[in-house]
Structures are given as C-alpha cells and as structure tokens.
Amino acid sequence: MTQFEDKVKELTAHTFGTWNRQNAWSNPMVITDAEGIYFYNDKGKRYIDFSSQLICSNLGHKNPAIIEAIKKQAEKLCYVAPAFATEAAMEAVDALNSILPKGLGKQFFSTSGTEANEAAIKLVRQSKAPAYKIFSRYHSYHGATPSSAACTGDPRRWYSERARCTIDGVRFAPDNYCYRCPFSMTYPDCNIQCARYLDYMIKEEGNVAAIIVEPVVGTNGRIVPPPEYFPLVRKICDENDVLLIADEVMSGWYRTGTPFAMENWDVLPDIMTTAKGASGAYTPFALTAVSDKVADFFDDHLFCHGHTYAYHALAASAVPAAISEYKKLFDSGLPQKVSAYLEDKLVALGEKHNCVGDVRGIGHFWAFEIVKDRKTRQPFNVKADKLAGKPLMTAKIAGKAMENGLFMFAWYDTLVLTPPLIITEAQVDEALDILDKALEIGDQEAVETNTPVSRSCHYR
C-alpha cells in the first residue's frame, strides 16, 4: 500500500476518467515527478515518455526557462478578463509572429485544441455564409465539443452522434492513407486520387465552406501525405472558393522538423489551429490563426465567440519561453540528427517483427501499424473494437512496454512513437530495446511471412 491508495480511490469515486468506461478508471497510476524525457510514479519507478504524454510535452519535463516565466507571471498577474490587454498576451503575440507562417497575422487565444477548432468552425461559418458545409477525413481527430466532434473521423464521433452532441453539415472525404488506399484497386498508380476526389465532392455537394485537415494525421495514424497532396488540395480549395483549415494541434511545434507541418509542402492554410506544444504543455494554451481574407470580414461583423479564460495571462506567459527554447534546440541541431537516427532504428525494428505492418512518420512523429498478417495487411483490431472494449493487441504491447519502463500511447491499430524533441540517440536506444521485447507479444499471434515491412513515408 502506498500513501496515495485511499486518495486514489476517493479521486476515482468522485471524478470521471476521460474517454473510458468508469470501471476501468478505478486504479490509475499516480505520477509524482518528471524531468527531461522521464516521469516517475509514487513508488519511484522511472518511465521513458515515448509519446510525449499526449504528443504535447515536446520540450520534455521541468524545462527551467518555461517554469521561470510562469513563476514570474504568477507573482504578477494570473488572470484578468479577456476584454483587457496584458503584457503576457502582448509578449505572446510578438513571439508567435516570429514563428507563425507569414500570412496568418491575426489570432484568437484559447486553452485547448478543441477550443481552437471550435473557433475555426465559427469563423468559417460566419464569414462564408450562406455556405456552411465542412469536409473532414475519416482518419482524424479534431476535438470533443459539438463542432469539433462532428469533424472527427475516429470512433469517438459515433458516441457523440448517438448523444446528439454534434452539429450537421459535415461530410467526410477519403484519407491520404497510402497503406490502405481507398482507391488502390481502381487507380493502382495512385495519381493522388484522394485529393482529386475532393474537387468532385465540392462540386456535387454545394454550399461547401471549408476543408479541415491534420497535415500529418495525429491520433489516427501519423499518416504522412504524398508530396503532391497538399499543393493539390490548396489548388482545389482556391478554385472552388473553399477555405483550408490546418489542424496543427499535434503536428505543429517542430514535431515534423519544421515549426508547422504544412511548411514541409510550402502550403499556407487560410486558418491554422494549434495547442499542445505551443507552451510545451506547461500551461493550457491554444490559438486559432487566420489569414487577412478571413480576418477582414470581422472588421464590420460581430465576432460572436469567446471564453472566460481566453487570453489567460498565466497560460500565455509560457509561450514566449517555449518558442525561445524551440529555437535554441533546433539551432543546436540535436532534433535533426536524432530524427534521422530514429527513422533508421524504427524501420529496422519494424522489419524484425512480423506484427509490424507499416512504419510511417516524419521528424519525431511516428507510428507502427500493428497487423496480424503483414502480407494481407489483416489487422488485429478495427475501430469498433475500441468502443466495444475488446482486448486490443496494441494495448497488450504497450502494456508490456509499460511494465518495463516505457510509456507509449496506443490506439486501436497503431503505437504512438512520438518522443520529446530533446531525446538523445542513447535514449532512443534505451526505449527501443524495451519496445523490441514488447513487440514479441504481437509476433506470437502474427503470421510469419517473408513480406517486407511497408514504409508509407512520402515526404521525401
């Protein structure tokens, strides 16, 4: 028994565990400390944080510069209503304008990626009326509120729809999911049909206001598009007078090697949302950044949106420090060096294990897709299994890794391999030694095959 056992029981009796059946929220692990790429439970056991928690602790834990910035702001002013201006907000704007893509000059500050996307959808529907439809993709996650949940492709949307907690007017387009391409039987040479089909959808649907995309899909697979994909999507949007929203909540903040993932393809969205790594996850901070053609509409029209904690001074105080730390880190060259090393190591490890069907990613943003048969690409589990509470092979693998000191977030079909940007090559080796052993659980139930592991990485 630990000192926290009774308190944990009290906690779980009186609070809801997120995205879970509550009988599974009966005994969560207690975390008492964290530093660098490691965190520690109440028994003193150390874990490698190989998913940056929820792909947000990009700069690791206990960064002294960010902590000091928050402390100074807490001593000065934690909160004031968003109608007032604060030094913290002004300094955040200056820092953001030094790193945001040129052309996204006006922002709204909130506290989560969900809120950032909710704001984006309101901005779109107000400025593009009477057009109101929004296209998303099946492999996507955009948030938990009615608008953002409606735009979410993963199975959490199903429950929101059953509870009538989503908006109407959302349509789902094909994914740029090359490992399981929905067009491969018809178009074996690809020709980016997943993008070209958007033009057909827009013209047939009518009243389309925007398309929302994760530049590199986050929770639902770390799916990297072919290099021609986003330039073509941008062209289709322009030709049809449709706004392009880039959800960079996970893919932003150097996660893919550039400040924001869309920069890998030199594409500028009309609206960009981001959160998580904006503060390094030290404070809840998010923003919705828009182009002039969106911002100008609201000069003479009501911007009918806001939050009590919008422009929260304490939350904003972490942003300039985090941006400074990102710049220093990338000036050192460490993340660039380690990302190439990580890629080579992950491909070799994936090749070794029959349960790994596809290795894909970019920068520090990777996935192993776990399959029962590498040759036929038969999965162990599908979306419905996640909501039904069935045992998931990814969870078994992640659970075994956790027993041995490696934390990985697992989805129904993929392992989330997204370490902090501060990780070293030696620490990558330490993590992958544990993962190597954990993958043997999947191999025991996978079909032995001579088929090589797939590498659906198209960014080069």
Domain boundaries, the chain: 5-62+333-445, 64-329
CA dihedral 344, 347, 352, 356 (to 10 degrees): 160
What pLDDT, on a 0 to 100 scale, did the predictor assign at position 277?
A: 97
d(CA 21, CA 414): 21
pLDDT digit string, tens, across residues 38-61: 999 999 999 999 999 999 999 999
Q: Counting Cβ atoms within 10 Å, is residue 320 exposed (0-12), middle (13-18) or buried (19+)?
A: buried
CB of 280 within 8 A of CB of 318? yes
Distance linking the first and last C-alpha atoms of the chain: 52
d(CA 296, CA 283): 30
pLDDT band with cut points at 50, 70 and 90 for residue 387: confident
Q: Which residues of 337-371 are buried (b: 16+ CB within 10 A; e: fewer)?
A: ebbeebbebbbebbeebbbbbbbbbbbbbbbbbbb
What pLDDT, on a 0 to 100 scale, did the predictor assign at position 402?
A: 98
Cα–Cα nearest to 19, from 173, 203, 158: 158
Q: Is the pLDDT of residue 226 over 70?
A: yes
Q: Is the pLDDT of residue 457 over 90?
A: no
The reply to whether 64-329 shares the fold of 5-62+333-445 is: no
Q: Is the pLDDT of residue 75 over 90?
A: yes
Query: How far is C-alpha 107 from the chain's CA centre?
Result: 20
Q: What single DSSP character describes residue 116?
A: H
Q: Counting Cβ atoms within 10 Å, is residue 395 exposed (0-12), middle (13-18) or buried (19+)?
A: middle
Q: Is the pLDDT of residue 458 over 80?
A: no
What does DSSP say about strands 46-49 and 38-41: parallel, antiparallel, or unpaired? antiparallel
Which runs of E-coded beta strand occur in 320-423? Answer: 356-362, 365-373, 378-379, 406-407, 409-410, 414-417
Q: Is the pLDDT of residue 186 over 70?
A: no
| CATH class of the structural domain 64-329 | alpha beta
* pTM score over 0.75: yes
CATH topology for the 5-62+333-445 domain: Aspartate Aminotransferase, domain 1 (3.90.1150)
Cα–Cα nearest to 56, from 221, 263, 275: 275
